[in-house]
């Protein structure tokens, strides 16, 4: 993703600065360049936040699979009582656990219990 954005940025810069000055004013060139810098900055920030969130989710799932207990909305979640569903990224109670039936926890609501 970052490579593609970088290539698009380079192409836009070349296209803006190689156009004739009579057809496009310097003010327009600067505006277009500023707009693309803004877009690419927003894309990089989004990518950074998304990558950090995914890393956190991976750490939570790995801890769960290693047998550690998670804290999800003031409830203990472990492999004895819950299963991890990767499609919905949530923890669901195992069949036969009547005291926790219906308790489904989204991964974003969980932290690793120390």
pLDDT tens for 65-106 read: 999 999 999 889 999 999 999 999 999 998 887 888 888 999
What is the residue range of 110's domain?
69-114
DSSP tag of 29: H
Asked whether residue 78 falls in the same domain as residue 25, the answer is no
With pLDDT > 90 as the criterion, what percentage of the chain qualifies? 42
Q: How far apart are CA 58 and CA 110, in angstroms?
A: 12
Q: Is the pLDDT of residue 14 over 80?
A: no
With pLDDT > 70 as the criterion, what percentage of the chain qualifies? 96
Domain count, the chain: 2
Q: How far apart are CA 65 and CA 51, in angstroms?
A: 21
Output the CA–CA distances (angstroms, integers) from residue 44 to 3, 34, 36, in the order listed: 11, 15, 12
Asked whether residue 36 falls in the same domain as residue 62, the answer is yes
Categorize the per-residue pLDDT at 34 as very low, low, confident or very high, splitting at 50, 70 and 90.
confident
8 Å CB contact between 69 and 113: yes
Looking at per-residue pLDDT, the higher value among 1 and 92 belongs to 92
pLDDT of residue 35: 86
Asked whether residue 37 falls in the same domain as residue 78, the answer is no
Q: Is the pLDDT of residue 22 over 80?
A: no
pLDDT of residue 21: 65
pLDDT tens for 53-62 read: 999 999 999 9
Asked whether residue 3 falls in the same domain as residue 58, the answer is yes
């Amino acid at each position: 993703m970052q490579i593609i954005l970088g290539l698009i940025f380079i192409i836009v810069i070349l296209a803006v600065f190689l156009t004739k000055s009579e057809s496009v004013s310097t003010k327009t060139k600067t505006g277009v360049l500023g707009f693309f810098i803004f877009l690419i900055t927003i894309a990089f920030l989004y990518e950074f936040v998304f990558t950090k969130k995914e890393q956190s989710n991976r750490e939570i799932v790995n801890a769960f699979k290693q047998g550690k207990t998670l804290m999800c909305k003031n409830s203990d979640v472990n492999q004895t009582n819950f299963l991890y569903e990767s499609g919905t990224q949530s923890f669901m109670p195992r069949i036969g656990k009547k005291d926790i039936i219906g308790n489904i926890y989204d991964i974003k609501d969980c932290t690793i219990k120390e």
